[in-house]
Amino acid sequence: MSFVKKIAFDPGYSQMLGNQIFDSHSKFAKSMGGLPVADRYEGLKNFLSGKGIEINTYDLYKKGDKIDLWIMMEPSPQKYFLMLKRGICPKKVLFFILEPDIVNPWAWKYLKLYMPFHKAFLSWSSDLVKRYPGKFVELKVPIPFDKSKYPHYKEKIKKNLCVLMQSNKFSNIKGELYSLRREIVRFYEKRGDGLLDLYGLGWNTENTRHLGKSKPLYTTLYKGFAEDKWETFSEYWFAFCIQNSIPSGDFEYDPFMAMATGTVPIYLPPPNADKYVPKDTYINYNDFENLEELTKYLMSLKKTPEYEKYRESGWKYINSARYRPFTVEEFSEKVYEGIIKATS
């Protein structure tokens, strides 16, 4: 590896600049409702500092500063225009590919065209790592949690059976699960017994924050935006965990946040989930013929020893060595591995 002293990070959003992405107490971090996005990059910054490497958001470097490597989020035409404008050699750019194709279709569609211009990539995609082992370093998005708060979460009074805390988005790409989120909402709305509470962006508003054309969904189940997602999860017996999509290797926050707050996840897992997550830590959405059958099971499960077994298994798992792929420590190590690849 060539000696790397300075890394410029382009996080993709202006509110993350000024090193806010590296500060878990920043204004940006507080705006995330408890999602530990800044926590992982704060941990990465500390890890790299221990290796003698400085990383800052690109706006903190002065013109003329020698940048040894750029790390950027998500390949896109805008990122290549930025490289051209600033005279950045693509060989000195290490990309994260963390969004699936339904969120960033350009990055996946044109991968073979831009891939030769870079030495390495970072992604959760098990498929990309198998297909291009010399180019991709596989990592998982880390979900750190505060162990000391578990007794508090576990003892909170449950105010309803289920929660769904995700955004109302749209995609016409095969494999999207946004339509399933809407199907779940409509099912519980039609039941009329209020067994589901809904949180997130894009519901009950014209501003759907969607991908492509989408109509807003109005429902009486909507409770607004959860200011603290951890506290909100803990107030429910079960949490629906419906990702953007479920390609192999892609794991989002929700099931792990549920386990860390004493709530049992109802999870639609990616195909290689068994490699990472024990089956006894969540209720598999695929195990039921329909939502009516699932709901009957949930109603029979709460306040039972079997329910407590799910909670105990989830808590045991996220405190075990098997959870290490989802820790900030392993995330930082994998990014460092990518830095070595990108500068060799």
8 Å CB contact between 11 and 28: no
Q: Are residues 184 and 301 in the same domain?
A: yes
Confidence (pLDDT) at 138: 97
Q: Are residues 166 and 275 in the same domain?
A: yes
Q: Are residues 235 and 315 in the same domain?
A: yes
Distances (CA, A) of 99 to 25, 169, 180, 285, 317: 25, 14, 19, 23, 26
The total number of structural domains in the chain stands at 2
Q: State mean pLDDT over 264-277.
A: 97
Q: Are residues 168 and 296 in the same domain?
A: yes
Single pTM value for the model: 0.94
Q: Are residues 154 and 31 in the same domain?
A: no
What is the tens place of the pLDDT at every residue in 105-156? 999 999 999 999 999 999 999 999 999 989 999 999 999 999 999 999 999 9
The band of 171, judged by pLDDT with boundaries at 50, 70 and 90, is confident
Listing from the earlier edge strand, what are the strands of the sheet with 196-199? 196-199, 160-165, 236-241, 264-267, 283-284
Coil/strand/helix, residue 71: strand
Distances (CA, A) of 141 to 67, 144, 252: 26, 10, 7
Confidence (pLDDT) at 71: 98
Q: Are residues 296 and 164 in the same domain?
A: yes
- In whole angstroms, what is the distance from residue 144 CA to residue 327 CA? 6
Q: The domain containing residue 157 runs over which residues? A: 147-322
Q: Are residues 13 and 57 in the same domain?
A: yes
Does residue 174 fall inside a structural domain?
yes
**Backbone dihedral angles phi then psi of residue 230, each to the nearest 5 degrees:** -65, -50
Number of residues written out for the chain? 344
Q: State mean pLDDT over 258-283.
A: 97
Q: Are residues 113 and 249 in the same domain?
A: no
Contacts of 20 (CB under 8 A, 6+ apart): 26, 27, 28, 29, 38, 57
Q: What is the CATH number of the domain that holds 259?
A: 3.40.50.11660
Mean of all residue pLDDT scores within the chain: 95
What is the tens place of the pLDDT at every residue in 201-213? 889 988 765 545 6
Query: If we measure between CA atoms, which residue out of 217, 189, 215 comes closest to residue 203?
Result: 217
